[in-house]
Amino acid sequence: MGKFKRIPVKDINAMRKILDDLPDKNLGKTREEAADLLNAHILKALEKGYTVKELADIMAQGNVVIPAPVIRAKVLPAKAAPRKREPRPRPETAKPVAAPPVTSHAQEETPAYYTPDIPDTEL
């Protein structure tokens, strides 16, 4: 098996300083994050009568491009997004109840589990 190469501690400390001094590359925000940050202001503009499409156009002119569907998805659920209604159960129509068949007194006394013996000629 080969020997493991050792790294000097001074080189590790130098690399730590280099990595700590790197500039931040994540300077901007995503469209969704921008919509979340502007949420209250977008809601105020909607209350003033502007449509979501108009707001998307105004923001695009100000170099903040957030499409209308993203605004609807991120801002309007908190306010009042149109929701699908659950279908109401249909009221059951009153069906006429058939009168029970007239049974003779002899059949009423016969238990339900009893089946009379029928001769083969009647089958």
Q: In this predicted model, what pLDDT tens digit does every residue of 54-64 receive, in sequence order?
A: 999 999 999 99
pLDDT of residue 16: 94
Query: Longest Cα pair distance anywhere in the chain, in angstroms?
Result: 111
Model-level pTM greater than 0.85? Answer: no
As a whole number, the mean pLDDT across the chain is 80
pLDDT of residue 81: 47
* Average pLDDT score over residue span 99-105: 59
**CB-count burial class (<10 Å; 0-12, 13-18, 19+) for 43:** middle
Tokens at residue 15, please? 């690399």
DSSP 9-56: HHHHHHHHHHHHTPPPS--S--HHHHHHHTHHHHHHHHHTT--HHHHH
